[in-house]
Amino acid sequence: MTAESSPSRPGAEHWVPGSASVEELRHAAEACRGCELWQDATQVVFSEGAQGARLMLVGEQPGDREDLSGEPFVGPAGRMLDTALDDAGIARETTYLTNAVKHFRFERRGPRRIHEKPGVAHVNACRPWLDAEVAAVHPAVVVALGATAARAVLGRPVTIGEVRGEPLDAPDWRGVSIVVTVHPSSLLRIRDDADRHAALRAFVADLRAAADLAGVR
């Protein structure tokens, strides 16, 4: 691996401005070269939502649709998330939505681009953006959607089943509670209707718990 393509390159610190607004961060992230993922992606996908949101939702990384549009959670996983937020009585526009990793990692198979999970090195490289977002937004509660997001916000690997739904202290963000739950795309992979509905109900219950904790429901 060359130095240029190694995910252990410097990380995003160099590109993250100090005490910046969300708008400033969004703009600065376009120039980020903190890991190699920017090279093959169409654009950075930063976040959606307002500074001052009480509830921050963190996904894994942009998918194919997000990479093309520049907006988080606009593809199939985003539609599943919308359904769950609706069921939980949370208006999407009151939340701040972002991802652990801001560029799409994929593998080319012919004309198709197949999602590839970001590595720990990508999560670590991109983490300064998340720190800066938390500092700018000041959420009461950060919801980690799935294992990659949980690793990013907690700074350690966890098993979703063991920690889901319970408020956890954020190791690095004072006054912020973390709620870990599943990633919405995990629901899309469940073929059996009854199982998928049960999984959706459990996801909605976690989102409700997070919203109640944040005082936004």
Beta bridge partners of 177: 141, 169
Beta bridge partners of 115: 106
Integer Rg of the chain from CA: 16
Q: Which does 216 bind (CB under 5 to 8 A by kind): ligand SF4, ligand URA, none?
A: none
Interface with ligand URA, residue 60, by CB under 6 A:
yes
Kindly tell me which residue out of 11, 34, 49, 59 binds ligand URA, with binding defined by CB under 6 A: 59
Closer residue to ligand URA, CB minimum distance, 7 or 63: 63
Do 55 and 96 form a contact (C-beta atoms < 8 A)?
yes
Interface with ligand URA, residue 66, by CB under 6 A:
yes
Of 139, 173, 174, nearest to 153 by C-alpha is 173
Q: Catalogue the E-assigned strands of the chain.
A: 47-48, 55-59, 96-99, 106-109, 112-115, 141-145, 168-169, 177-181
Instruction: Give the binding range for ligand URA (CB under 6 A) out of 55-63, 172-180, 189-197, 202-210.
Output: 55-63
Closer residue to ligand URA, CB minimum distance, 11 or 146: 146
CA distances (Å), 140 to each of 5, 60, 94, in order? 37, 20, 13
Closer residue to ligand SF4, CB minimum distance, 103 or 164: 103
Burial of 48 per CB tally in 10 Å (0-12, 13-18, 19+): buried
Residue 121's CB is within 10 A of a number of other CB atoms, namely 15
Interface with ligand URA, residue 118, by CB under 6 A:
no
Write down the least CB distance from residue 45 to ligand SF4, Å: 9
Of 99, 116, 117, 83, nearest to 153 by C-alpha is 99
Interface with ligand URA, residue 139, by CB under 6 A:
no
Beta bridge partners of 181: 145
Write down the least CB distance from residue 186 to ligand URA, Å: 11
Kindly identify the residues of this chain, within the stretch 102-121, that bind ligand SF4 according to CB under 6 A. Answer: 102-103
Binding mask 145-184 for ligand SF4 (x = CB under 6 A): ----------------------------------------
Kindly tell me which residue out of 7, 11, 34, 72 binds ligand URA, with binding defined by CB under 6 A: 72
Tell me the C-alpha distance between 180 and 210, whole Å: 9
The three-class DSSP label of residue 28 is: helix
Give contact residues for ligand SF4 (rule: CB under 6 A).
12, 29, 32-35, 37-38, 44, 101-103, 122, 125-126
Give contact residues for ligand URA (rule: CB under 6 A).
59-63, 66, 72-73, 75, 77-78, 99, 185
